[in-house]
Chain A
């Protein structure tokens, strides 16, 4: 009897506190904690095969506002000069030999491996997802998110959030039928300067690529004001000129 009363009281408190929490506000805060609204950054992507063999890619990325992202491959030499541009839901790939941008989709992967274009060219989570349900687990929140449009790669996200710093710990990316596509694990929180304290490593595993793992490492994340014209098809071949 006492146990039932305790459970009822505790359960009600959980639900009440969850109802009081604005999940979308948390999601927006997570976005700002991960990066300023406009920034530049360097990223290394490592594809790890089941036999331990690795393949690495280095990208320079710029983002402006809620709808503009561009990335330039700096390494390896076979990919150098490849650039991607995202303007809202429009996404293009520029290959130096081809010398003209072609439209690509979120679901493709310009590098192969577990990361796809949506992971590399991600807009803010709050732009693409709305929080349907929030759980308060004491030290963590669990955000159950639904894609705002059908053009988003993953229909549902379940985000485990560190309550104290409002930083993601793990994100499960799922289909509309709640089939797990991949899991992103956020690790090694680092102070990048300029008030940016965030995980510097994201590890990705997918049941669709059994035994494979991809890792994304961030460096030199800096707030930067950029002109809108940077995020245009005409400028894609010249992204390297932004690097200082």
Chain B
């Protein structure tokens, strides 16, 4: 009898436990699969963006030309630590066909020797969208033209892209622009036209050109025979005429090819002569890029690009520049006169991202290695084909925490003296980037 009661009690216990567990599981599932769509109704005002903290440590190349140009008047140090704080916010208002957007960017850089804060407006415009076919914009906008990942020769109305960080947000230009689109059936599926007016004055778009005046640009986009094709042009009072075209097409579903070509009439640049004089040169140049993006069965993405910069310097021209830096630095050490070295540092075209003529870019990204989600290793190489010097950048990104992104990146520069990457101020750089999105 007692045994029977004991069984009953156990059974009751199991039932209660079972019901509790079932209830807990059911509740858990309900919570797991809950989707309150009302939370996502469109609001008139919205605020999005990210905050970023980016500490880095660089191992410096004390004998390099660009170390001398940058730190000639500072104590020599083998390493340099820096920290960056950045905030990018998108504040928008939408009502009917009207939209207004403000995108301020705040940046604070700090190192043991100096700190610098900068605030800029990356974008700020109003737009009217009377139909999906037509949108008109007025204000400051960032346009991204071209199909290249690391470089975009056809990006005629943009600030230069950093091939080491091509995905970074960039500041736009003030303009009036519109997008008109028409869809069709047949070989030509889409036709879009984007006309642009860009004014340049002392206070507006003064980094676009030093010459004041009104400029006109335009882009015609076609989706023709499953190929994206853009024709672009820029002409006006501030810039000589430039025009080009780009394309992108899937050869197979996992294999995309793209290319760009741009012709720049009367390109102006500073050039150091053999005797150290600095001269302005004006010539026509062609820039082009050929690239591909391939996804393997193991979900490894390969991006390969070849870039020819017709406006870039040859090896001998770079040699003349490095010699000028050497002489200027010697002059500063002996006489304390830094006029010449400051002049050399002001030759921005030599210190740009890829100042020479022929480059190869390779980026390899692995999604979810070993079936583990959110860890994405990648490696990027930029090789100067003229001298063989290169930048190698392995990185690891983690996106497992909602709205957080962590990235650890190393940049190793290889090259001898008088070779592009051998003359950069760093030999090795380690950087952690933590981003919080809101």
Residue from A105, A107, A212 with most neighbouring chain B CB atoms (10 Å): A105
- Chain B residue at smallest Cβ distance from A217: B35
Tell me if A17 is interfacial: C-beta within 8 Å of chain B: no
Tell me if A243 is interfacial: C-beta within 8 Å of chain B: yes
Tell me if A215 is interfacial: C-beta within 8 Å of chain B: yes
Tell me if B169 is interfacial: C-beta within 8 Å of chain A: yes
Residues on B with beta carbons closer than 8 Å to the beta carbon of A217: 33, 35
Residues on A with beta carbons closer than 8 Å to the beta carbon of B192: 232-234
* 8 Å CB contact of A99 from B50, B144, B295, B373: B144
Whether the pair A77, B250 counts as a contact (CB closer than 8 A) is no
Residues on B with beta carbons closer than 8 Å to the beta carbon of A48: 32
Contacts A87-B223, A105-B253, A232-B223 hold; do A42 and B399 have CB atoms under 8 A apart?
Answer: no
Whether the pair A77, B32 counts as a contact (CB closer than 8 A) is no
Q: Secondary structure of the A side of the interface?
A: loop
Query: Closest CB of chain A to B121's CB: distance in Å?
Result: 16
Chain A 22-55, CB-CB to B under 8 Å as 1, else 0, gives: 0000000000000000000010101111000111
Chain A residues with CB under 8 Å of chain B are: 42, 44, 46-49, 53-56, 58, 60, 74-78, 80-81, 87-90, 95-100, 102-103, 105-109, 112-113, 150-151, 188, 201, 208-210, 212, 215, 217, 219-220, 226-235, 238, 240-241, 243-244
- Chain B residue at smallest Cβ distance from A78: B437
- Chain B residue at smallest Cβ distance from A79: B437
Contacts A90-B250, A97-B168, A100-B146 hold; do A77 and B367 have CB atoms under 8 A apart?
Answer: no
* 8 Å CB contact of A75 from B40, B145, B181: B40
Chain B residues with CB under 8 Å of chain A are: 32-33, 35, 37, 40-42, 48, 50, 90, 94, 99, 129, 131-133, 135, 142-146, 149, 166-169, 179, 181-183, 189-190, 192, 194, 221, 223, 226, 228, 248-250, 252-254, 256, 258, 293, 295, 299, 301, 367-368, 371, 373-374, 399-400, 402-405, 435, 437-438
- Chain B residue at smallest Cβ distance from A55: B402
Contacts A89-B250, A100-B144 hold; do A209 and B33 have CB atoms under 8 A apart?
Answer: no
Whether the pair A76, B403 counts as a contact (CB closer than 8 A) is yes
Residues on B with beta carbons closer than 8 Å to the beta carbon of A208: 371
* 8 Å CB contact of B132 from A55, A56, A230: A230
Whether the pair A227, B132 counts as a contact (CB closer than 8 A) is yes
Q: How long is the Cα–Cα vector from A56 to B367 in the complex, in angstroms?
A: 18
Q: How long is the Cα–Cα vector from A44 to B223 in the complex, in angstroms?
A: 31
* 8 Å CB contact of A233 from B35, B94, B223: B223
Contacts A55-B402, A233-B192, A235-B181 hold; do A105 and B250 have CB atoms under 8 A apart?
Answer: yes
Residues on B with beta carbons closer than 8 Å to the beta carbon of A228: 183
Whether the pair A240, B371 counts as a contact (CB closer than 8 A) is no
Q: How long is the Cα–Cα vector from A222 to B131 in the complex, in angstroms?
A: 21
Whether the pair B226, A88 counts as a contact (CB closer than 8 A) is yes
Whether the pair B402, A90 counts as a contact (CB closer than 8 A) is no
Q: How long is the Cα–Cα vector from A224 to B182 in the complex, in angstroms?
A: 20
Q: How long is the Cα–Cα vector from A66 to B384 in the complex, in angstroms?
A: 47
Residues on A with beta carbons closer than 8 Å to the beta carbon of B435: 78
Q: How long is the Cα–Cα vector from A53 to B399 in the complex, in angstroms?
A: 13
Whether the pair B183, A229 counts as a contact (CB closer than 8 A) is yes
Q: Which 10 A-B pairs have the closest CB atoms?
A: A228-B183, A100-B144, A78-B437, A77-B437, A219-B37, A99-B144, A243-B42, A151-B253, A229-B132, A234-B192
A-B contact pairs, 29 of them (CB 8 A): A42-B37, A44-B35, A55-B400, A60-B40, A74-B40, A75-B40, A77-B438, A78-B435, A89-B250, A90-B226, A90-B250, A97-B167, A99-B144, A100-B144, A100-B146, A103-B250, A103-B293, A105-B254, A112-B367, A112-B399, A212-B371, A220-B37, A229-B132, A231-B183, A233-B190, A233-B228, A240-B42, A241-B94, A243-B42
